[in-house]
């Protein structure tokens, strides 16, 4: 995927399509049905996971600002080294200038034409985002999708440790997980009122992040927690909760601490969506203890009266290793499971509890393929 030459904002940021009004990252996120990658690290990971090589036709040129019309003294990039080692299926050029420059400088040497694509620049305002998404969808049809993995819970824990050791911290993974969770809720109910049930562990941390993102996207959000953020012990959940609580200030959001039965029922009665972030994949008991047993009963009752229930990683009360359900257990409409699916989620006995299972692809797993293959 080639542009013409980086804009001043992209050069300042040190990565492609850095201008906040450029629509490339919004378009690609919709094409691949993922949250918009908001940082350079997440954008790089997005490209790696989806097998997209992004570069520019030109290595250098004379240019005024971001005006493609002013480009002169063109020096093209040498793509042959990339083409020699990577199985490039197609070359897409973003915008008329990139397509023209490719035809002028690179097509003969490379021996293949590019596929011209509409520019995502704000200067191309005549083309709507919806139209851009329709046109750019061919990229998803072209790329090779990564293998889907189903792992034992212990292997997922080991994988998370390996990912953290490689440079993507557990805090960053939690932030991505909560963003994925919020994305799936927002996609299902773009204007819905949301209640997030956040437990005391790292599953609850995902819920705090999701609450922050949903409020930022315009939802009315109530987060229910058994303890205030400063009393949480699990990390990185405590730090995520403290940061999210600060981010909720000034939003149409409320934090309810240790509600009674009637208060919880009243909160849920006003909700279109209930996010279950109570218990995570480490739960393996036959019974759920108070107060979370009451939360689960109340969430299931609200689902029976019409609310959508979305679970983080696995439905609370479900054993993610065996698929066995405790008493009580959340019955979810959708489960957003993080990094890979877990063995218990595909067990026949778990299907009625999990609903639709969506894997949140939080990072590029290619570097860990040997570990995953064992």
Mean pLDDT of the chain: 95
Reading the block at residue 82, the tokens are 């990339």
Tell me, yes or no, whether 113 and 193 share the same domain. no
* Dist. CA 93–CA 122, nearest whole Å: 17
Indicate if the pLDDT at residue 229 is higher than 80.
yes
> How many domains is the chain partitioned into structurally?
2
Tell me, yes or no, whether 109 and 236 share the same domain. no
The whole-number pLDDT of residue 374 equals: 66
What DSSP assignment string belongs to 269-324? HT-SEEEEESS-TT---SBPPTTHHHHHHHHHHHHHTT-EEEEESS-TTB-TTT--
Tell me, yes or no, whether 208 and 245 share the same domain. yes
Rounded to an integer, the average pLDDT of 156-177 is 97
Tell me, yes or no, whether 138 and 155 share the same domain. no
Tell me, yes or no, whether 263 and 285 share the same domain. yes
What are the angstrom distances between the C-alpha of 106 and each of 97, 224, 361? 13, 57, 34
Would you say the pTM of this structure is higher than 0.85? yes
DSSP category for residue 79: -
DSSP category for residue 359: E
Tell me, yes or no, whether 230 and 128 share the same domain. no
Which helix (H) or strand (E) covers residue 335, if one does? strand 334-338
Tell me, yes or no, whether 94 and 44 share the same domain. yes
- Give CA 224 to chain center in angstroms: 23
Q: How many CB atoms lie within 10 A of CB 41?
A: 15
The whole-number pLDDT of residue 147 equals: 72
Q: What is the pLDDT of residues 106-133, one digit of tens each?
A: 999 889 999 999 999 998 999 999 999 9
94 forms bridges with which residues in the sheet? Answer: 117
The whole-number pLDDT of residue 52 equals: 95
Find the largest Cα–Cα distance for the chain.
73
Indicate if the pLDDT at residue 240 is higher than 90.
yes
Instruction: Check if the beta carbon of residue 167 is closer than 8 Å to that of residue 263.
Output: no
* Dist. CA 288–CA 296, nearest whole Å: 9
* Dist. CA 7–CA 298, nearest whole Å: 52
Here the CATH number for the domain that contains residue 46 is: 3.40.470.10
Model confidence at 66, in pLDDT bands (50, 70, 90)?
Answer: confident
Tell me, yes or no, whether 125 and 156 share the same domain. no
What DSSP assignment string belongs to 107-162? HHHHTS--EEE---SGGGTTS-HHHHHHHHHHHHHHSPPPPP-EE-HHHHHHHHHH
Reading the block at residue 247, the tokens are 């981010």
Tell me, yes or no, whether 106 and 163 share the same domain. no
Choosing from 114, 142, 170, the residue where a domain stops is: 142
The whole-number pLDDT of residue 166 equals: 96
Tell me, yes or no, whether 63 and 124 share the same domain. yes
Q: If you count them, how many residues does the chain have?
A: 374
Model confidence at 155, in pLDDT bands (50, 70, 90)?
Answer: very high
Indicate if the pLDDT at residue 146 is higher than 90.
no
Tell me, yes or no, whether 21 and 124 share the same domain. yes
* Dist. CA 254–CA 265, nearest whole Å: 15
Model confidence at 81, in pLDDT bands (50, 70, 90)?
Answer: confident
Q: Which domain holds residue 123?
A: 2-142
Q: What is the pLDDT of residues 311-339, one digit of tens each?
A: 999 999 999 999 999 999 999 999 999 99
Instruction: Check if the beta carbon of residue 184 is closer than 8 Å to that of residue 358.
Output: yes
* Dist. CA 345–CA 204, nearest whole Å: 19
Tell me, yes or no, whether 173 and 131 share the same domain. no
* Dist. CA 40–CA 43, nearest whole Å: 5
Choosing from 111, 142, 173, the residue where a domain stops is: 142
Which helix (H) or strand (E) covers residue 37, if one does? none
Reading the block at residue 93, the tokens are 């050029």
Here the CATH number for the domain that contains residue 356 is: 3.40.50.10260
Reading the block at residue 45, the tokens are 């990971």
Choosing from 113, 142, 171, the residue where a domain stops is: 142
């Amino acid at each position: 995927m080639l542009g013409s030459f980086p804009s001043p904002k992209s050069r300042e940021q040190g990565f492609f399509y850095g201008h906040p009004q450029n629509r490339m990252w919004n378009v690609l996120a919709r094409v691949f049905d993922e949250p918009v990658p908001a940082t350079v690290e997440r954008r790089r990971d997005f490209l790696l996971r989806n097998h997209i090589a992004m570069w520019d036709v030109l290595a250098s040129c004379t240019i005024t600002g971001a005006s493609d019309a002013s480009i002169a003294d063109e020096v093209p990039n040498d793509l042959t080294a990339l083409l020699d080692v990577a199985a490039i299926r197609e070359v897409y050029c973003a915008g008329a200038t990139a397509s023209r420059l490719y035809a002028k400088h690179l097509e003969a040497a490379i021996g293949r034409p590019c596929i011209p694509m509409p520019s995502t620049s704000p200067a191309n305002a005549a083309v709507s985002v919806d139209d851009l998404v329709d046109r750019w969808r061919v990229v998803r049809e072209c790329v090779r999708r990564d293998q889907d993995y189903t792992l034992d819970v212990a292997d997922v824990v080991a994988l998370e440790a390996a990912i953290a050791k490689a440079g993507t911290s557990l805090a960053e993974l939690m932030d991505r997980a909560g963003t994925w969770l919020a994305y799936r809720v927002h996609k299902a109910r773009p204007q819905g009122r949301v209640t997030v049930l956040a437990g005391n562990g790292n599953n609850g941390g995902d819920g705090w992040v999701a609450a922050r993102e949903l409020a930022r996207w315009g939802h009315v959000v109530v987060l229910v927690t058994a303890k205030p953020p400063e009393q949480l012990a699990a990390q990185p959940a405590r730090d995520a909760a403290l940061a999210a609580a600060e981010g909720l200030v000034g939003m149409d959001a409320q934090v309810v601490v240790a509600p009674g039965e009637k208060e919880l029922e009243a909160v849920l009665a006003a909700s279109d969506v209930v996010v279950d972030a109570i218990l995570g994949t480490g739960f393996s008991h036959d019974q759920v203890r108070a107060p979370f047993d009451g939360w689960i009963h109340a969430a299931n009752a609200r689902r029976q009266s019409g609310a959508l229930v979305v679970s983080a990683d696995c439905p609370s009360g479900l054993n993610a290793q065996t698929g066995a359900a405790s008493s009580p257990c959340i019955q979810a409409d959708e489960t957003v499971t993080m990094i890979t699916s877990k063995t218990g989620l595909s067990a026949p006995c778990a299907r009625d509890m999990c609903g639709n299972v969506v894997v949140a692809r939080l990072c590029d797993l290619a570097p860990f393929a040997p570990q995953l293959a064992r």
